Amino acid sequence: MKEIIMCYQGEMALKGLNRATFESVLSKSLRWRVKDLGKFQVYKAQSTMYVEPRDEEAEANMEEAYDRVSKVFGLAALSRAAVCDKNIDAIKATAEEYLGPILRNLKTFKVEAKRADKSFPLKSPELCRELGGFLLSKHPHLRVDVHHPDIVVMVEVRDYGAYVHGPKVPGAGGLPVGTSGRAITMLSGGIDSPVAAWYMARRGLALHHIHFASPPYTSQAAQDKVRDLARLIAPYTGNCVLYVVPYTTPQEYIRDNAPDVLFTVLMRRSMMRIANRIAKEIDAKALVTGESLAQVASQTLYALACTDAAQDLPVLRPLIGMDKSEITVVARKIGTFETSILPFEDCCTIFTPPHPKTKPTLAEIEAAEAAMPGLAALEEQAAADVERIRIDMRDQKQEDDLSELEDF
């Protein structure tokens, strides 16, 4: 029996003339995601992408391939299916072999059929009846329930074969990464920013990340945690680069030369300016942050207006209207939460005054910056000294494997 992954397109299907571009990016992503798991063929027929194992290694890795494909943006749904010849006897035998063991433990079922290949002699209702009757004869304890069945057995008769599968499961949704251009995420070690990156990658943005580190106030462990977070979301975002900016000198300069109550907003503006420089170098068209309205003093509308005015790229804040509890649900779902809550310091939390101003005005911020003539050069130097760390989703796996070995 041959198994295959069927991938159903979501929103992309509505893209009219651009659809071919979206599909080509999607099939590239799919191909790339399963590349190291054996020989897979990825192809499209009748608006569905197929990920088909073509050697034994690929067949043995179907579970992992399925997991990876479920994280590819652009897919509304997917299913693992058994493929067989387009004749009713083969369909019956395949359905029994593939889903029989599951049916044994259920009480009710129904069959749904789709006959995309109109040359197939049985119409969909006839196919349902034939297969349903056959499965009932094999599993006499079962009952047909068309409204609330324990399982829907699906048969799709398409161009290249007949496909038998259980219910489709939701895919990662959104649009294929890269179809909306490129942006840069401001990635801290917190809960919010990896979730923000996930949301924007889901809208088709290819992301690189930037992190500000202030050694010795922030440790190597804190920086490694950010690298780990970037790796954890790489199955969604694809491979990327984490830019680590040595931010100690500009940060100390602001601490020593600006009013305490404005420190955080001044620092955030400074970070945005550096991010802007690096974004322009890599042709990124926006900055992404994990800010959420009024979460902290630097995220009031007044403070955000001041940070927005610091540079000229759009700042995308996908979490702006979300509560922390909602953000946490997503962080758990995408697997970043446990790493995010590891207790390491972030440069945003050092030197913070006890009572930051929640309603700063741009005029007072600009006046404070005018009193820091040395800041621009320090920012330029920090941007020039940036360290580039390559993030590959597969490194995560290797590290896991190593840690398992060390346990023995």
Report in angstroms how near the CB of residue 188 gets to Mg ion at its nearest.
8
Q: Is the CB of 7 or the CB of 230 nearer to ligand ATP? A: 230
Please choose, out of 47-55, 129-137, 192-200, 375-383, the segment that lies near Mg ion by the rule CB under 5 A.
Answer: 192-200
How far does CA 253 lie from the centroid of its chain?
37
Q: Is the CB of 61 or the CB of 307 nearer to ligand ATP? A: 307
Q: Strand runs (DSSP E) across 68-217, as ranges? A: 75-84, 108-115, 143-144, 151-157, 162-165, 169-173, 182-186, 206-213
Report in angstroms how near the CB of residue 292 gets to ligand ATP at its nearest.
8
Q: Is the CB of 134 or the CB of 212 nearer to ligand ATP? A: 212
Q: What are the phi and psi torsion angles at 113 (to 5°)?
A: -125, 145
Residues 6 or more apart whose CB falls under 8 angstroms from that of 241 comprise 208, 209, 282, 388, 389, 390, 391
Please state, in angstroms and rounded to a whole number, the distance separating the CA atoms of residues 358 and 345: 23
Site for Mg ion in 280-299 (CB under 5 A): 290
The CB-nearest residue to Mg ion is 192
Q: Is 186 marked as binding a ligand? A: yes
Residue that the structure tokens 């030369």 belong to: 257
Q: Is 375 marked as binding a ligand? A: no
List the single partner that 289 binds among Mg ion, ligand ATP, none, CB under 5 to 8 Å by kind. ligand ATP
Q: Is the CB of 156 or the CB of 192 nearer to Mg ion? A: 192
List the single partner that 379 binds among Mg ion, ligand ATP, none, CB under 5 to 8 Å by kind. none
The CB-nearest residue to ligand ATP is 190
Please state, in angstroms and rounded to a whole number, the distance separating the CA atoms of residues 210 and 275: 7
Q: Is 212 marked as binding a ligand? A: yes
Report in angstroms how near the CB of residue 340 gets to ligand ATP at its nearest.
7
Report in angstroms how near the CB of residue 391 gets to ligand ATP at its nearest.
15
Report in angstroms how near the CB of residue 175 gets to ligand ATP at its nearest.
22
Q: Residues 192, 228, 346, 379: which binds Mg ion (CB under 5 A)?
A: 192
Q: Is the CB of 22 or the CB of 247 nearer to Mg ion? A: 247
Q: Is 227 marked as binding a ligand? A: no
Please state, in angstroms and rounded to a whole number, the distance separating the CA atoms of residues 3 and 81: 6
Residue 361: strand pairing partners: none
Q: Is the CB of 304 or the CB of 393 nearer to Mg ion? A: 304
Report in angstroms how near the CB of residue 389 gets to ligand ATP at its nearest.
13
Please state, in angstroms and rounded to a whole number, the distance separating the CA atoms of residues 160 and 183: 39
Q: Is the CB of 61 or the CB of 270 nearer to ligand ATP? A: 270
Please state, in angstroms and rounded to a whole number, the distance separating the CA atoms of residues 270 and 245: 12
Q: What is the CA radius of gyration of the chain?
A: 26
Report in angstroms how near the CB of residue 274 gets to ligand ATP at its nearest.
10
Tell me the number of residues near Mg ion by CB under 5 A: 2
Q: Is 74 marked as binding a ligand? A: no
Please state, in angstroms and rounded to a whole number, the distance separating the CA atoms of residues 276 and 284: 9
Helices (H), 186-300: 192-202, 220-237, 248-257, 263-281
Residue that the structure tokens 């970037």 belong to: 230
Helices (H), 46-171: 56-60, 62-69, 88-103, 124-138
382 burial level (CB within 10 Å; 0-12, 13-18, 19+) = buried
Q: Is the CB of 107 or the CB of 324 nearer to ligand ATP? A: 324
Report in angstroms how near the CB of residue 348 gets to Mg ion at its nearest.
9
Residues that bind ligand ATP (CB under 6 A): 186-188, 190-193, 210-212, 289-291, 295-296, 346-348
Q: Which residues bind Mg ion (CB under 5 A)?
A: 192, 290
Annotated binding site for ATP: 186-187, 211-212, 268, 290, 299
Annotated binding site: 186-187, 211-212, 268, 290, 299
